Amino acid sequence: MKDILTAPFMVEMIRTTTNMYAHGWDERNGGNISLMLDEAEVMEYLDTDNVLRTIPTGFSAPALEGKYFLVTGTGKYFKNVAYDPAKNLGIVRLKDGGETAELLWGFTDGGKFTSEFPAHMMSHAARLAVDPANRVVMHCHPTNLLAMTYVHTLEEREFTRTLWQMCTECIVVFPDGVNVLPWMLCGTNKIGEATAEKMKTARLVVWAQHGLYGAGRDLDEAFGLIETAEKAAEIYMKIAHLPRVNTITDAQMHELEAHFGVKGREGYLD
């Protein structure tokens, strides 16, 4: 059996949590990540018959039966993941239609997966239905996107258009736009279901006055999506109080669509 701390998925998870903390997106225990793993790659590092504990999830997700996830722990700080991965992360396999998680590795202090596990698992199921290659759901508290939800309308077309207008390449990176949930109580099945519903049509979902969810095929892609949207929000927060003299026009957005071979969300451009 190979050393799991050398597994590419583990190395990348540690790098990503460390980097997200460095970006200021994950204060204290803020943020959480779940990465779906292939059974074959897990078996190189773990005896998958050795279940350490079973943990009820409190929801069902039949589409994820038997799936493996590397996931951050509840109450755990992203800044500490690199120093003690086995305490701050865990590998679980879902069974009983998603109602039970079997712990195979990690959470060594008796901890468990993030309190946002419902939103993560329901979002995985929603994204997999759209894109079978999706592997990552990532949540964090990026400063400028959060700030924007206090001063900008939460209407999704307007919110998306504003972000697209802030950097030329936004429409190329997230042509599906950004979906937005109003403030809701976090850590619940209800916000999980609402997030998953929004994930059916976009890979970025804003939680107003709380943070952001991103989904992608790997950690880099989810990180890059969030990074790009947050950069756009940063520019918005720098200029929102100033008269806007120039912008990226819809005609220019259409030029970008043609040049980069992408199509902005239906009805979002004039």
Give the residue numbers marked as catalytic. Answer: 116
CB of 77 to ligand 13P, least distance (A): 9
Spatial strand order in the sheet of 53-56: 53-56, 100-106, 89-95, 68-72, 32-37, 136-140, 211-216, 204-207, 178-181
Q: Which is nearer to ligand 13P, 34 or 162 (CB)?
A: 34
CB of 258 to ligand 13P, least distance (A): 39
CB of 205 to ligand 13P, least distance (A): 13
Q: Which is nearer to ligand 13P, 77 or 236 (CB)?
A: 77
Measured distance CA(199)–CA(173) in Å, rounded = 16
CB of 3 to ligand 13P, least distance (A): 26
Number of chain positions touching Zn ion (CB under 5 A)? 1
CB atoms within 10 A of CB 84: 13
Binder of residue 56, out of Zn ion, ligand 13P, none (CB less than 5 to 8 A by kind)? none
Binder of residue 29, out of ligand 13P, Zn ion, none (CB less than 5 to 8 A by kind)? ligand 13P
Q: Which is nearer to ligand 13P, 26 or 176 (CB)?
A: 26
By the 8 A CB rule, do 178 and 150 touch? Answer: no
Structure tokens that stand for 156 in this block:
């999704």
CB atoms within 10 A of CB 55: 17
The DSSP code sequence of 43-85 is HTTS-TT---EEEE-SS--GGGTT-EEEEEBTT--GGGTTT-H
By the 8 A CB rule, do 228 and 142 touch? Answer: no
Q: Which is nearer to ligand 13P, 119 or 225 (CB)?
A: 119
Identify residues 121-180 at the interface with Zn ion (CB under 5 A). none
CB of 145 to ligand 13P, least distance (A): 14
Q: Which is nearer to Zn ion, 22 or 239 (CB)?
A: 22
Binder of residue 179, out of Zn ion, ligand 13P, none (CB less than 5 to 8 A by kind)? none
60 closest CA partner among 246, 172, 192, 257: 192
Among 211, 214, 216, 264, binds Zn ion (CB under 5 A): 211
Binder of residue 74, out of ligand 13P, Zn ion, none (CB less than 5 to 8 A by kind)? ligand 13P
CA distances from 221 to 80, 94, 226 (A): 23, 24, 9
CA distances from 81 to 71, 90, 112 (A): 11, 11, 14
Contact positions vs ligand 13P (CB under 6 A): 29-32, 72, 74-75, 114-116, 139, 186
Binder of residue 114, out of ligand 13P, Zn ion, none (CB less than 5 to 8 A by kind)? ligand 13P
Measured distance CA(41)–CA(30) in Å, rounded = 29
23 closest CA partner among 217, 150, 211: 211
Residues at the interface with Zn ion (CB under 5 A): 211
